[in-house]
Structure 1
């Protein structure tokens, strides 16, 4: 159990199903396992209380959506934020590596939510944290993608006493997952325009939407 920003108790669900008119993506946050189904999951595949997230139902593009092939330059961050990014990356790397491989995804999710009881970060603070983490990330000699970078940015903001609006979402055609930092209004920070294609599945307050307990709808 946890407490959300309004002071209410919150049950942390580890399984989320993204529903579209043509497919269903089930994400198990404890194991990192995803299942793509062509039929609606029944109760045996969705535990009671699992979160159901409806996708807006965008039409199929048959994989023709364009994505950038070259990474753009990383905007600069102040020296103070860059210095803070180094221990934030170290903490994230240790949490990622410790424990069983099966639980890595869940550890990253929980780490990304570590500062959710703090006052929200301003847009400028969120931008500084993301830029500083991206500046320092090339020194990590391992896979360091959006999940790890966003978690490190959340750790950096938590160290500054601020809540990171961490986001995780899914987009179809082809199905893909993405993690990013948003501002307090929910606008992605230092992210490409196509981030809006992702439907939110998880935030620091848990799953975005939850079906009634025991429901498979």
Structure 2
């Protein structure tokens, strides 16, 4: 039998989202993602209510501790329930997204490259396993220095400027880098948006995007609403780790 401590808790940097068929765990210090099927998810939920690992199968408890999803404690310390997520509609393996090059001119076109370079530096300079944590800390810092919410037009101009610049960049630019760079770009003008990182299911997938402080999607297709935000940074939606 695997030896495990009797008590544990989920660290604050581990966020969970519960779908009817899977529980998704994201470690925002390492970026590690793992999924628990219904039986294992039920054990997680029971342990969350009591702070005790005595009812969890020892191999599962040992795995969760080894991967950092749980941390041993000296006494029972219950932790919060996962974020609930709706049953996902059938995706049939694909979704429609607008694509294509757009000519972007505006106040952010000249500085988008610098925002992208900043994002790449944050994620690539230092230990790779801590890249997500460094990016989140940088996003929190930039958000704290803003003075007013960006309008929908300002936010859209920033996102599109980053997107246009990324087409010609030599480095990987996916939704994580794009959304972070747009947030940094707006922060140079003391403008705030809400940076979001979320999960969708069937299949389980991650996405990062930007929205206004009023909750409007910025340069995103309506299908982004299928993602349940696990972490948001910015304005009054700030959820610090």
Give the TM-score category using the shorter length. 0.7 to 0.9
Match status 1:85 vs 2:118: no
Q: How does 1:131-150 map to 2 (within 5 A)?
A: 131-150=160-179
Match in the other structure for 1:18:
17
User: Contact 1:167 / 1:180 at 8 angstroms: preserved in 2?
Assistant: yes
Instruction: Give 2:217's aligned residue.
Output: 188
Q: CA deviation at 1:74?
A: 4.0
**Cα RMSD over matched residues?**
2.4
How far has the Cα of 1:21 moved from its partner?
A: 1.7
Counterparts of 1:191 and 1:23, CA distance in 2: 26
Give, in whole Å, the separation in 2 of the partners of 1:165 and 1:140.
25
Residue 64 of structure 1 is matched in structure 2 by 92
Larger radius of gyration: 2
Q: Greater share of helix residues, 1 or 2?
A: 2
Q: Whole-Å Cα distance in 2 between the matches of residues 136 and 129 of structure 1?
A: 11
Go from structure 1 to structure 2 and tell me whether the alpha carbon gap of 1:145 and 1:59 turns closer, same or farther (over 3 Å shift): closer
Shift of 1:60: 5.8
In 2, distance between residues paired with 1:16 and 1:101?
20
- The CA distance in 2 between the partners of 1:144 and 1:32, in whole Å, is 17
After superposition, the Cα gap between the structure-2 partners of 1:101 and 1:75, relative to the gap in structure 1 and judged at 3 Å, is same
Offset of residue 192 of structure 1: 1.2
For the 8 Å contact 1:16–1:51, the answer to whether it is kept is no
Quote the residue 2:239 is aligned against: 206
Relative contact order, CA 8 A, sep 6+: which one is greater?
A: 1
Distance (Å, rounded) in 2 between the aligned partners of 1:53 and 1:78 = 42
Q: 2:156 aligns with which of 103, 107, 127?
A: 127
**CA separation in 1, counterparts of 2:136 and 2:121?**
14
C-alpha distance in structure 2 between counterparts of 1:164 and 1:172, whole Å: 26
What SS class does the counterpart of residue 166 from structure 2 fall into? helix
Compute the displacement of 1:96 (Å).
1.4
Residues 122/60 of structure 1: CA separation in 2 closer, same or farther (3 Å cut): closer
1:30 counterpart = 2:63: no
Q: State the TM-score, normalizing by the size of structure 1.
A: 0.80
Shift of 1:71: 5.2
Shift of the alpha carbon at 1:162?
Answer: 1.0
Q: Is this contact kept in 1: 2:108–2:158, CA < 8 A? A: yes
Distance 2:149 2:106 in 1: 22
In structure 2, list runs of 5 or more residues that go unmatched.
1-10, 52-60, 65-69, 72-76
Q: Which 5+ residue runs of structure 1 have no aligned equivalent?
A: 1-11, 211-217
Does the Cα contact within 8 Å between 2:88 and 2:200 map onto a contact in 1?
A: no
CA distance in 2, matches of 1:71, 1:60: 20
In 2: Cα distance, 1:50 partner to 1:127 partner: 38
Displacement of 1:125 in angstroms is 1.0
Measured at CA, do residues 126 and 51 of structure 1 come closer, stay the same or move farther in structure 2, by a change above 3 Å? farther
